Amino acid sequence: MSHLFRIQLSIVVAGFFALSTGCNTDRVRGANPRIPANTSSALLRPGDSLAVALQSIPDPSSNSVQIDEQGIISLPYIGNLTAAGITTSELSQRIRETYIEGKIYKAVDVSVSVTERYVYVGGEVTRPGRIIWTPDLSLTKAIQSAGGFTLYAKENRVTLARDQNAYDLNVTLAQKDPAQDVILMPGDSIQVPRSAF
């Protein structure tokens, strides 16, 4: 066996070993990062669906509205109001004051409740889009609700965006070990990247 051939063979073996070790690190090892709970989960956010009830007036009503991307809702007689970034009770007070200051009503009882909140799943899933949030919604459940991964999904490098921070998560790890699954919060956004292979 020539010296050159032995060098080439050792390079090939070393490369194969490096590749196989690299693949093993993508398996079910390690831990997903600890992600702080959404500090503003009580605050309203764009995308939230609300029921706004007006009582103690000649024409009581209930309005279904959704907070738009600018954080605005629109109600009869008073038009646009900023709703994102405050609580339901603060919004109730703001609506009541706006009706009274605008001399639409002398007195009005307002109640605001959240009817639906969402998380968003995009990228390499079968049905990207928004999913209705529930208190037990986890990362793996959200992926399943979006139809599961496509063939090209990079399952070990899924990005979760929360409170303007991004976290890389290994969904394969979460599927094997439920303790590594992440409970989602309203407004979370999940992005599944495309694998290079």
**Residue pLDDT, tens place only, 150-166:** 999 999 999 999 878 89
What are the residue ranges of helices labelled H in the chain?
3-25, 88-101, 139-145, 171-176
pLDDT of residue 12: 47
C-alpha dihedral (38, 40, 44, 49), degrees to nearest 10: 20
CATH of domain 118-197: 3.10.560.10
Average pLDDT over residues 172-192: 91
pLDDT of residue 65: 96
DSSP strands (E only) in 20-147: 49-55, 61-66, 72-75, 79-82, 109-116, 118-123, 129-132
Residue whose tokens read 């007036």: 57
pLDDT of residue 75: 95
Domain residue spans of the chain: 49-116, 118-197
pLDDT of residue 16: 44
Angle CA 62–67–72, to nearest 5 = 100
Superfamily the domain 49-116 falls into: wza like domain (3.30.1950.10)
pLDDT of residue 45: 87
